[in-house]
Amino acid sequence: MTRDVKTLCPYCGVGCGLIATTDGKKILRVRPDPLHPANLGRICQKGATVAQTVNVSTRLRYPMIRETGSTRPQVVPVGQAIDHAATHLRRIIDAHGPQSVAFYLSGQLQTEAQYLAAKFARACLRTPHVDSNSRLCMSSAASGMNLSLGSDGPPTCYADIELADTFLFVGSNAAECHPVTFERVKARIDKNRAECIVVDPRRTLTAEAAHLHIPAKPGTDLALLNGLLHLLRERGRLDRAFVEAHTEGWAELDAMLDQYSPQWVATICSIDESLLQRAADILGQASKLITFWTMGANQSIQGTFNTNAICNLHLALGQIGRPGCGPFSLTGQPNAMGGRDCGYMGHTLPGYRFVADADHRQQMESFWGLSPGHLPSQVGYDAVRMFDALSTGELKAIWIIGSNPAATMPRLSRVRDGLERAELVIVQDAYYPTETSRFAHVLFPGAVNLESEGTYCNSERCVTLMQPVAAPPGDAKPDWWWVRETGRALGFEKGIGFQTAEEIFDEFARSTAGRPNDQSGLYHKLLREKGPQQWPFPLMGKSTARRYQDFQFHRAGGRAKFWARPHLDNPEQPTAQFPLLLTTGRVIGQWHTRTKTGTVTQLNNNHPSPFLQMHPEDATTLGLEDGQRVAISSPRGRAFSQLKLEQSISPGVVFSPIHWNDLWARSASPNEATSDDVDPISKQPNLKCCIVNVTPDECVKKLS
């Protein structure tokens, strides 16, 4: 007997609904859910093959402990692993205080696990140091929308795509990274219903589909966005009535825009000025404009400013709060939005509250039944500082859930150093080995999302409930379960003793009541019976697909804010020693560090190995050839790859996908070289732009 279960794709932030067929033991296959609003029956190659990633030999099935000094962890009973973790956490907290312990969470966890882990850290252990891999992904979009619109969370929804007549993509290769959403955009383009502009240093699949590709140099998006607004102002295309009625701060921005002449901007961006003029033509004619952006704009020292500039554009054109238009940040991971909702970053608390705000801390103390002043008032370390603090010995322990920072963080040598020095590393993952698991003293086996009940919230603020399709293998358990049990072993019961994911969700949803991301009217039974729902979904009110339709923004006085954000040159500029700019990204068939997609033959056949994309002109200058093994060196470290010469990348720029790391080959990750400079507001690392040199791989030379 087989049965069908509704679930979700575990990969990108599109959040496609899947229907999984199971025989009661195994997941036999998945197909796209025709009724899910994110995909309406569409699916990409990663989602289509997800059933093949569940019952694989690389699943972590049993807990393990590695004694200090040993390199091989040993399988142990569940109780022993939990006791071991709890004993060492207690020892470290007693000796060094709770602030010596950190949690590093993931946008791939269900909201219930994210909420419970962050609550346990702050309310039980009382450490401020809770952060997540969203810091690498969307924190600039979140901080930028907070400053411009008064709240994180995009104003738009996927249904707006079918209403828009103009699309602008900034730093987003959606055709590969958010394929199903891009299919909807492409359908509009193909029917001549919409024009499309893509800003990217590479002529990606997204750029190929667009009417206009602007190959701006990495690190120049802000100059370009300011330049476009300058031209739109010059052409009289601004919505002055909207600016007057619903915004503040225009005068300062207006004055700053004077210097962003098309000639100056074209020079900064290394583009032809005619591209700017053509883009302004298209944007000036737009009646419904959606701007999509993601990591290309976010992973920058000016990531927050980039989001502000995108919001500036929409506010100045009055392109927000109406069907078919608005700034639309695409979320990288399937539940980064849920994590942001429940406060799983160092500076946030549930319900879009902030640690630095004493009122917000007091609200959560009251909600959680804690005494005043119980919650740490210190803003917790962001991801980069967290691993730095392990390296300096300030942090002694880290519990990593559902993430692989030894492959994904910038400047990997520093991250490995931190993990090596830590007294206690707990790694909770569904797969083994990973680049991070070799540092673990305790390994907890997690269930994958197809094996556990819980929710994800996607890029359009849509919350979907997943039902378990099959039982987890061996001793693997839902992520929240390991947190609760370790908490119990440490003597905590009150506040974390939930029996089910449903109970955790109920508390999380109540914590958002009256907040900008109010979803207090949501509960598992409703999601089970009525399907996915978008927030805001207040208990006493109506759900809305679009935000700000009344043009009341979440700022004092209700007005959105223009920010005058000047372009700054990237801190690293090419030199004789490091003449190229390295940028990184994804390919369509692989996901993050390939723990899942690397198990699927079909995906590996499509994308078999790492590569470094380079323009042939640069190869000629450097004396390199297509297919050659090369070393990619920066002031921080050296990665190795295979050269791929293509005209589709701008001269002076090289690109490496992020998916292949140390498990593939030593130093295969571009993050050996990437920069750990961060945006000063969002603390997001500048992963998209660092100086490198590319030379023949000397090891290959010696062997041959």
Interacting residues with ligand SF4 (CB under 6 A): 9, 11-12, 14-16, 39, 43-44, 46-47, 179-180
CB of 330 to ligand SF4, least distance (A): 10
The half-sphere exposure of 112 on its side-chain side, counting CA atoms within 13 A, is 27
Q: Let me know: does 51 contact 492? Beta carbons within 8 Å.
A: no
Question: What is the C-alpha separation between 483 and 447, in angstroms, rounded?
Answer: 13
Minimum Å distance from CB 519 to ligand SF4?
21
Instruction: Check residue 339 and give left, alpha or beta (phi > 0: left; psi -120 to 50: alpha).
Output: alpha
Q: Which is nearer to ligand SF4, 595 or 675 (CB)?
A: 595
- Cβ distance to ligand SF4 smaller for residue 30 or 309: 30
For residues 598 and 587, is the Cβ–Cβ distance under 8 A? no
Q: How many CB atoms lie within 10 A of CB 558?
A: 13
Give the residue with the Cβ less far from ligand SF4, 107 or 321: 107
Q: Which of 506, 513, 448 is nearest to 476 (CA)?
A: 448
Residue 334 CB, nearest approach to ligand SF4 (Å): 7
**Least distance between ligand SF4 and beta carbon 14 (Å):** 4
Query: C-beta of 615: minimal distance to ligand SF4 in Å?
Result: 29
Identify the CA nearest to 11 among candidates 45, 56, 59. Answer: 45
**Cβ-based neighbours of 634, under 8 Å, separated by 6 or more:** 578, 582, 673, 674, 675, 690, 691, 692, 693
Fill in the DSSP letter of residue 99: G
341 in Cβ contact with 305 (< 8 Å): no
Q: Minimal distance in Å, beta carbon 59 to ligand SF4?
A: 20
Distance CA 674, CA 582 (A): 8
DSSP secondary structure letter of residue 59? B
Q: Which is nearer to ligand SF4, 459 or 671 (CB)?
A: 459
Q: How far is the CB of 238 from ligand SF4 (least distance, A)?
A: 35
Q: Residue 228 belongs to what H/E stretch?
A: helix 221-234
Give, in order, the Cα–Cα distances in Å from 628 to each of 142, 693, 700: 40, 15, 9
Please tell me the number of Cα atoms within 13 Å of 668 on its side-chain side. Answer: 17
Cβ closer to ligand SF4: 8 or 370? 8
DSSP structure class, residue 469: S
Least gap, CB of 17 to ligand SF4 (angstroms): 9
Nearer to ligand SF4, 28 or 358 (CB): 28
Nearer CB in complex with ligand SF4: 108/628: 108
**Which tokens go with 190?**
């193909």
Phi, psi of 213 (to 5 degrees): -115, 125
State the nearest-atom distance from the C-beta of 42 to ligand SF4, in Å: 7
Tokens 């702050």, located at residue: 122
Residue 560: phi, psi to the nearest 5? -75, 165
Strand pairing partners for 209? none
Q: Rounded to 5 degrees, what angle do the CA atoms 685, 310, 651 make?
A: 60
C-beta closer to ligand SF4: residue 15 or 487: 15
Contact 24/33 with Cβ under 8 angstroms? no
**Complex with ligand SF4: residue 134 or 304, whichever CB lies closer:** 134
Q: Which is nearer to ligand SF4, 314 or 592 (CB)?
A: 592
CB-nearer residue toward ligand SF4: 41 or 514? 41
Tell the smallest beta-carbon distance from residue 184 to ligand SF4 (Å).
Answer: 11
Distance CA 419, CA 440 (A): 8
Residue length of the chain? 704
Question: Residue of minimal CB distance from ligand SF4?
Answer: 47
Dihedral sign for Cα 132, 138, 141, 142, please.
negative
Q: Closer to ligand SF4 at the Cβ: 167 or 553?
A: 167
Which residue, 332 or 538, has its beta carbon nearer to ligand SF4? 332
> Least distance from C-beta 449 to ligand SF4, angstroms?
11
Reduced to 3 states, what is the DSSP secondary structure of residue 170?
strand
Strands, sheet with 462-466, edge to edge from the N-terminal-most edge strand: 454-457, 462-466, 533-534
Q: How far is the CB of 234 from ligand SF4 (least distance, A)?
A: 39
CA–CA dist 557, 692 (Å, integer): 47
Q: How far is the CB of 178 from ligand SF4 (least distance, A)?
A: 6
